[in-house]
Structure 1
Amino acid sequence: MILSHGIGYTKYSTGNRKPETGNRKPETGNRKPETGNRSVYGLSREWLVRDGAVVPRAVVLSHDEQYARLADAVPEALSSAVVAGDPCFDRMAASEPRRRTYRSALDADDDMMVVLVSSTWGPHSLLGRNPNLISQLLAELPSDRHVVAAVLHPNTWFAHGPAQIRLWLGDCLRAGLRLVPPAEGWQQAVLAADVVIGDFGAVTGYAACVGRPTLLASFPEDQIANGSAMDELGRTARRLDPASAFPPQFDAAVAEAATGQFTKVRELATSLPGSSASALRRAFYGFLALPEPTRAPLVPPYSADVLLPERMPVAAWWVAAQWHGDHEAEVTRWPADVDARDEHAPNTTDRHLVVEQTHPRRDLHGNAAVVMLRDLHDVDETFARRPTCSLVVTGKEVVHRDKGVVVQGLSDVDESVACASAIYAWLSAGRTWDALPDKGLVRIGGHQIEVALSRPHVPPRPT
């Protein structure tokens, strides 16, 4: 008995391709006609027949569309065909109520957008075509409003080796990337996502099937079997414009997905939605000539416990702080370990560097306006060694070079960074220390912090 390992049988066998159609926009509908007979990987004579005989006793198909394709390619194999739906799709559908738990595993709050990048393997994959895309997303999406995660095909992990993958994505990991391991967790990551950027791999197809707004960063149409679920995805999904700002493209993808954009993709993925476990169990027990159990088959949701992405704490930020009036400031952060494209934020805004004391890049911590420390023991040495540093923060305090401790009682480093950046922006704008409000509101992402500024006691001058 054989089963497909992806979202049905969707790719043509290599070495037998139609001409490249280019990166057309899906709304044009200008597809070149088929030329000649194309063999589909896994559903053609070369895969099913040896010495004139059909080898498998059962060929499991997820959709009737594949049955018709098998009838054209290998009609003598129809007696072995079993249309049994898609168990992966059914489990993902059953797991949808656990979405918030999966998001928690990615450390994503309810008000954050989870952007999942999915890449299959090979030169036409997302990473093969645009290896800088993940770092650009991390560099340009405000970190307190976005989580970026990545799912890479196991062939990518183990063709190059996990150490090489971690080396290539080292800057991205230092910038907060959630890297999903190759064995398990990708279904949970898809369900946690608000937007998926992918290619012609199965993960991208499943994302569209479960209704996630999906953008295609690479899609070689010449490799995709006509009439398949992935072919329909290529016809309907919006292409990512690598030169344009990302958030407006996300908004457009979200709006289109809400209209039922991928309904037909889902319909072509399975002919038996919700019933694959029953059909497969019936086929397996029949294969073994054993009586099938009378109880209903299980369709277990995916566990959140196995979604264990690799990640590192961000230790360097570009920060912009904007004051609205005299009592409210808004702080935005982008990771500094990755580089944004020209003409895109944070390159286009007034910003400063906030860097952890032990960051490995000297070019970053040597130019930091704000330095993060574990405690206050190293404050004097930090100011002495770093002339560009105006403020030092810990998880509880903000210390000014000349004024000493100016904010106390904060709950974590993020709050300290937000407060220090607001003060830095105030002073950098030419406003005086004495004009700073005694109390203010600092917003960062979906959080707001009430700040009370400490006023160092200055004894009266003698008369």
Structure 2
Amino acid sequence: MTRHGSVVASALVLSHDEQYERLAATTPEAVSAAVVGGDPCLDRMRASMGRRPRYRRALGADPGSRIVAVSSTWGDTSLFGRDPDLLADLLAELPDDHVVAAIFHPNTWYAHGPWQLRCWLGRCLRAGLRLVPPDAGWQQALIAADAVVGDHGAVTAYAAALGKPVLLGAFPDADVAAGSAVAALGGIAPRLDRRRSLAAQLHELTATPPDLREVGELASSVPGESAGILRRVCYELMKLDEPGEPALVAPYPESGLVPEHEPVRAWWVTGERTGSDVRLIRWPGDVQPDRGRDTVPPGRHLVVAVDHPRHDLRGAASILVHDLHDADDPDQLLAETLRAHPACAIAAAAGPGECRVLLRDGRRFTASVPPDTVDPAMCASAVRCWADAAPPAEFGLAVGTRTARVSLRSADH
């Protein structure tokens, strides 16, 4: 900022009058170069709010899904530095009508290396985590989110400035500048309690969100005006005439949000039968809820793809699922699967709109569902709900936020 008592910068851009006052108190010689120019990133995010449905689709969320964004800055006092198991615990406790997206500071990516970060997050990625790349997409992910769990990093503060409900999983108060937007966030947002159910705390957060307007007010003194101010300053420095038309504020493209993720190939499933309809609730099988906060109901069963890399999950599965395209003779393949896996009660082969099912008692069914509705493999779990009776030829099936009418045909017909 200064060197040998002289101001180096031609223009020092600040986002808020509070920063100007802090500069004047600490480095008064730099005040002559200071410009309160607002926050172009925040202005652009606010201009992008109308594209929220597109960003949600880019994260793989259905219209009824809840998106939880988890933001961590870098260092030992960050959320990930203090609680590296939080992401896995969230994924384990939240059923599959939730999408969890992780946003890490670039210093976390490159201090440890992308390979190391992906290695640490391996079970989370297998459990459906959306990992936002370090160079693009975090703004869109914040806009898409229904709730944010974060720390003292700028991304969490941006979430609060956008009006998102924020829960603080880490917040080193001593590291935050007094009077700043981040300090205001720390004084208002609730703190995560690791002794309690994470799902319950997120429900409380969204049901009664904190009033974070002060954070937004401290983020920028000139909301919506940053592009015009900064363009004027740049043209003055270049000694050029500024264009006559207004400065543009372009929304963030949905193509800029390309999260890393893997298909979930292991699920804990519970089923409830009401008349001829079935509702299934799923939790990813690659992560386990903390024993002290286990919110998954008893009576759940494990559904695992036969190509899952964890042999322990395959060996403990109640239902093993093949890709129907891999089955030249589905009946033979399913019979061999049951012979090879004594703990397995049902073998299935699922493909687009269809699921072949073989129970250990010898009954065989073919289930059909309309395309782009429920996961066809879940028809095997639905059939399991009629373990001691004949399932109907047609029934309603709900899995998370998706529903379908299932047509079921016995192999004897």
TM norm. shorter chain > 0.5: yes
Contact 2:366 2:410 in 1 (8 A): no
Pairing partner for 2:2 from 49, 59, 71: 49
Contact 2:374 2:404 in 1 (8 A): no
Q: Specify the alignment match of 1:327 in structure 2.
A: 276
Pairing partner for 2:383 from 423, 435, 439: 423
Contact 1:391 1:398 in 2 (8 A): no
Q: Tell me, what secondary structure is at the counterpart of 1:373?
A: strand
Contact 1:334 1:346 in 2 (8 A): no
For 2:358, give the aligned amino acid.
Answer: H
For 2:279, give the aligned amino acid.
Answer: E
Residues 88-135 of structure 1: CA deviation (Å, up to 9, x unaligned)? 010000000000000010010110000000000000000001000001
Contact 1:368 1:388 in 2 (8 A): yes
Contact 1:397 1:405 in 2 (8 A): no
Contact 1:331 1:422 in 2 (8 A): yes
Q: Specify the alignment match of 1:84 in structure 2.
A: 37
Partners of 1:315 and 1:444 in 2: how far apart?
15
Q: Does 1:245 align with 2:197?
A: yes
Q: Specify the alignment match of 1:14 in structure 2.
A: none
Pairing partner for 1:406 from 365, 383, 386: 365
Alignment of 1:198-347 (within 5 A): 198-257=150-209, 261-324=211-274, 326-345=275-294, 347=296
Q: Tell me, what secondary structure is at the counterpart of 2:368?
A: coil
Shift of residue 49 of structure 1? 2.5
Q: Tell me, what secondary structure is at the counterpart of 1:294?
A: coil
Larger Rg: 1
Shift of residue 407 of structure 1? 2.9
Q: Does 1:172 align with 2:130?
A: no
Q: Specify the alignment match of 1:126 in structure 2.
A: 79
Q: Does 1:67 align with 2:17?
A: no
Partners of 1:185 and 1:415 in 2: how far apart?
28
> Structure 2: any 5+ residue segments left out of the alignment?
none
Contact 2:373 2:404 in 1 (8 A): no
Single out whichever of 296-305 and 386-395 deviates more from structure 2.
Answer: 386-395
Shift of residue 331 of structure 1? 0.4
Pairing partner for 2:299 from 341, 350, 360: 350
Q: Tell me, what secondary structure is at the counterpart of 2:101?
A: strand
Partners of 2:7 and 2:151 in 1: how far apart?
33
RMSD over aligned Cα atoms: 1.7
Shift of residue 346 of structure 1? 5.5
Shift of residue 256 of structure 1? 3.7
Contact 1:356 1:365 in 2 (8 A): yes
Residues 224-247 of structure 1: CA deviation (Å, up to 9, x unaligned)? 111100010001101111221123
Partners of 1:418 and 1:399 in 2: how far apart?
10
Q: Specify the alignment match of 1:453 in structure 2.
A: 408
Alignment of 1:344-383 (within 5 A): 344-345=293-294, 347-375=296-324, 376=327, 377=329, 378-383=333-338
Q: Specify the alignment match of 1:136 in structure 2.
A: 89
Partners of 2:3 and 2:140 in 1: how far apart?
39
Shift of residue 344 of structure 1? 3.4
Single out whichever of 336-345 and 315-324 deviates more from structure 2.
Answer: 336-345
Shift of residue 440 of structure 1? 2.2
Partners of 1:412 and 1:272 in 2: how far apart?
45
Q: Does 1:155 align with 2:107?
A: yes
TM-score normalised per structure 2: 0.93
Partners of 2:376 and 2:273 in 1: how far apart?
17
Shift of residue 398 of structure 1? 3.2
For 1:307, give the aligned amino acid.
Answer: L
> Structure 1: any 5+ residue segments left out of the alignment?
1-47, 459-463
Contact 2:69 2:148 in 1 (8 A): yes
For 1:191, give the aligned amino acid.
Answer: I
Partners of 1:100 and 1:156 in 2: how far apart?
29
Partners of 1:306 and 1:287 in 2: how far apart?
31
Contact 1:108 1:114 in 2 (8 A): yes
Identify if the C-alpha distance between structure 1 residues 382 and 288 changes in structure 2 by more than 3 Å, giving closer, same or farther: same
Q: Does 1:391 align with 2:317?
A: no
Q: Tell me, what secondary structure is at the counterpart of 1:176?
A: coil
Contact 2:17 2:36 in 1 (8 A): yes
Q: Specify the alignment match of 1:107 in structure 2.
A: 60
Q: Tell me, what secondary structure is at the counterpart of 2:291?
A: coil
What fraction of aligned residue pairs are identical, expressed as a percent?
A: 47
Q: Tell me, what secondary structure is at the counterpart of 2:110?
A: helix
Shift of residue 347 of structure 1? 4.9
Q: Specify the alignment match of 1:185 in structure 2.
A: 137
Partners of 1:344 and 1:424 in 2: how far apart?
27
Number of aligned pairs? Answer: 402
For 1:314, give the aligned amino acid.
Answer: V
Partners of 1:49 and 1:441 in 2: how far apart?
70
Identify if the C-alpha distance between structure 1 residues 111 and 347 changes in structure 2 by more than 3 Å, giving closer, same or farther: closer
Q: Which structure has greater strand proportion?
A: 2
For 1:313, give the aligned amino acid.
Answer: P
